[in-house]
Structure 1
Amino acid sequence: MSRVWDIPLQDSTRVRDARVAAEAACAAGGMDAHSTAVAALVATELATNLVKHADSGRIIINLTGPSDTLAEAAPQVQIISLDHGPGIDDVQAALRDGCTTSTDSLGAGLGTCQRISSDFDLHSRPGRGTVAMARIGPSVPSAGRRSRAVRSATGARAGGVNTS
């Protein structure tokens, strides 16, 4: 069983801890430098969003297999952001560059996370909170970029998180 990093984010001083945990997970999974930099950026962005928009939450990082049993079995770093903040009214708009509810933000973070992750999903309910999941797999040397997650023929996806 792989190690799980569980980082509570009450203030900006813990953002660095999320980045360091993502880098440690990449090292444990034997990831290359590019994938490690991608995981560090995604963890930093999701942690920063928790502090800016939700006041607090947690980042959970672990090594996992691919999101679909049809995909190859290379390890991936999974980064999950959980909060009980105000939620996002329009998730699709939040994923577009330039969309922000904060005066000190460019509004490019979630869209960037989606673009650079091997797999990314976000679920939010206004008044209840937000869950974001990013998986970062190893870089593909010949193409210079990672492949997107393979989807099952049924399109079914499922996941779970137990924080107890």
Structure 2
Amino acid sequence: MPRVWDVPVRDSTRVRDARVAAEEAAMLAGLDERRTAAAALVATELATNLLKHAEGGQVLIDVVAAPVLREDRADARMVQIAAVDHGPGIADVPAALRDGFSTSRSLGAGLGTCVRLCDDFALHSVPGRGTVAVARVSAAPRGIKGQGGPGGRVSAGGQWPGGTPPFGTVACAGLTGHAAAPDG
């Protein structure tokens, strides 16, 4: 049974730990080199954002079953990366997901990169309470091009793709003290 990597991100050395954990999970999930690099970059971006915008938080990485098994892969597994913080939250989530948006004088490409690289990406944030981001990376991207990563799905502000929160989202929302869905 795969383990869950729980990386508390309180300083820059832990960003590397989140990346390494994502690489280990990708190996267990059977991802190729390209998709392993995608998972590692997503973990790095989310961990970096924890430090840059929230003064730290948690990165939880797990190997999970794909929500819809593909015809050619009855055992499809994916890497799920969740970043949870109790920071200031994001006032305009849709803007934050667009390239070029930054509140810290950076390039503003981090969350947009995560969206493009993932099969599924969800972000829930409440100003003054914190943020939960959940990303999933599989061996081969799926979905409809233009709705998330290279064929994936994206949601913002608490609306999860397909209406069903990613595995562990409710628990992550419990950590931040706000609901995983707008009505919950």
TM bucket, shorter chain: 0.7 to 0.9
Among 144, 157, 161, the residue aligned to 2:164: 157
Residues 139 and 146 in structure 1, CA contact (< 8 A), matched pair in contact too: no
Residues 121 and 133 in structure 1, CA contact (< 8 A), matched pair in contact too: yes
Q: TM-score scaled by structure 2?
A: 0.77
Which residue of structure 1 aligns with residue 83 of structure 2?
Answer: 81
Which residue of structure 2 aligns with residue 126 of structure 1?
Answer: 127
RMSD of Structure 2 on Structure 1 (CA)? 2.1
Between the two proteins, what is the percent identity of the paired residues?
57
Which residue of structure 1 aligns with residue 152 of structure 2?
Answer: 148
Among 93, 96, 99, the residue aligned to 2:95: 93
Aligned AA (1:129)? G
Residues 96 and 108 in structure 1, CA contact (< 8 A), matched pair in contact too: yes
CA 65–146 in structure 1, closer or farther in 2 if over 3 Å, else same: farther
| Residues 11-26 of structure 1: pairs in structure 2 closer than 5 A | 11-26=11-26
Residues 116 and 150 in structure 2, CA contact (< 8 A), matched pair in contact too: no
Which residue of structure 2 aligns with residue 59 of structure 1?
Answer: 59
Take 1:99 and 1:54, find their aligned partners in 2: how far apart are those partners? 17
**Any runs of at least 4 consecutive aligned residues in structure 1 with deviations exceeding 2 A, and if so which?**
70-73, 145-149, 158-164
The total of aligned residue pairs comes to 153
Q: Which moved more, 1:85-94 or 1:28-37?
A: 28-37
SS in 2 for 1:92: helix
Residues 58 and 83 in structure 2, CA contact (< 8 A), matched pair in contact too: yes
Please report how far the alpha carbon of residue 146 of structure 1 lies from its aligned counterpart in structure 2 after TM superposition: 5.7
Take 1:115 and 1:71, find their aligned partners in 2: how far apart are those partners? 21
Please report how far the alpha carbon of residue 148 of structure 1 lies from its aligned counterpart in structure 2 after TM superposition: 2.7
Residues 43 and 79 in structure 1, CA contact (< 8 A), matched pair in contact too: yes
Aligned AA (1:50)? L
